[in-house]
Amino acid sequence: MKKIFFWIAVVFVAIQLVPIDRENKAVDKRDNFVDIYKTPENIKSILKNACYDCHSNEVKYPNYAYVAPISWTIKDHINEGREHLNFSEWGTYNKDLKQNAIEKTISSVHNLQMPLPFYIGYHPKANLTTKQRRELENYFSNLESK
Ligand code: HEC
């Protein structure tokens, strides 16, 4: 028994040594969604509180994000989230991608798919009220018609 715990401990310590890239790339104002559209403060703060940790280059890592293997899961979500949509790199998207992202944002916020439900449990500020969800949806719908 003791031996098993010993080896579990060894593996746990060893996996802490696997390097993880937690760096945020610099945000270029010319490509940054909220700068491009001059997004009003209330919408900006919803995005920051509920979406930026997976869809921007302004990710804030919680303390538990430094403990493997949790850190690996978190990094996976961030990589995948950024791949689908990165508000910090909005300006690099073509018209179709933007339109698609706008539509997906509206539907995923409406259907409670975003922010990812498990994330809300650890981030009360991301637990958007229905009112906040409607504000976000309206804001993105108006972008669509521009
Ligand atoms: C904890 C991480 C996390 C948070 C927070 C988060 N997302 Fe996501 N998001 C993801 C991941 C991972 C994917 C890709 C996999 C998927 O679609 O489930 C994704 C996908 C998306 C997509 C693309 C969907 C598609 O079908 O292509 C949109 C749009 C989106 N998120 C919008 C948002 C918005 C808006 C918020 C904030 C209200 C938000 N997300 C918050 C992780 C997150």
Judged against a pLDDT cut of 70, whether residue 146 lies above it is answered with no
Pocket of ligand 1 (CB under 6 A): 50-51, 53-55, 77, 80-81, 84-85, 101, 104-105, 108-109, 114-116, 119, 126
Distance 112 CA to ligand 1 centre (A): 11
Judged against a pLDDT cut of 70, whether residue 7 lies above it is answered with yes
Protein residue with least CA distance to atom 36, ligand 1: 51
Task: Give tens-digit pLDDT for 55-71.
Answer: 999 999 999 899 999 99
Task: Give tens-digit pLDDT for 27-57.
Answer: 999 999 999 999 999 999 999 999 999 999 9
Distance 115 CA to ligand 1 centre (A): 6
Residue 18 amino acid letter: V
Number of the ligand 1 atom closest to the C-alpha atom of 74: 1
Judged against a pLDDT cut of 90, whether residue 144 lies above it is answered with no
Instruction: For a ligand 1 pocket test, name from 42, 53, 54, 80 the mutation site with the most ligand atoms within 8 angstroms of its C-beta.
Output: 54
How many beta carbons lie within 10 A of that of residue 88, not counting itself?
24
Judged against a pLDDT cut of 70, whether residue 145 lies above it is answered with no
**51-55 long-range CB contacts below 8 Å, 24 or more apart?**
51/87, 51/114, 51/115, 52/87, 53/78, 53/119, 53/123, 53/126, 54/78, 54/80, 54/81, 54/82, 54/115, 54/116, 54/119, 55/81, 55/82, 55/84, 55/85, 55/86, 55/87
How many beta carbons lie within 10 A of that of residue 108, not counting itself?
15
Protein residue with least CA distance to atom 32, ligand 1: 105
Task: Give tens-digit pLDDT for 11-25.
Answer: 999 999 999 999 999
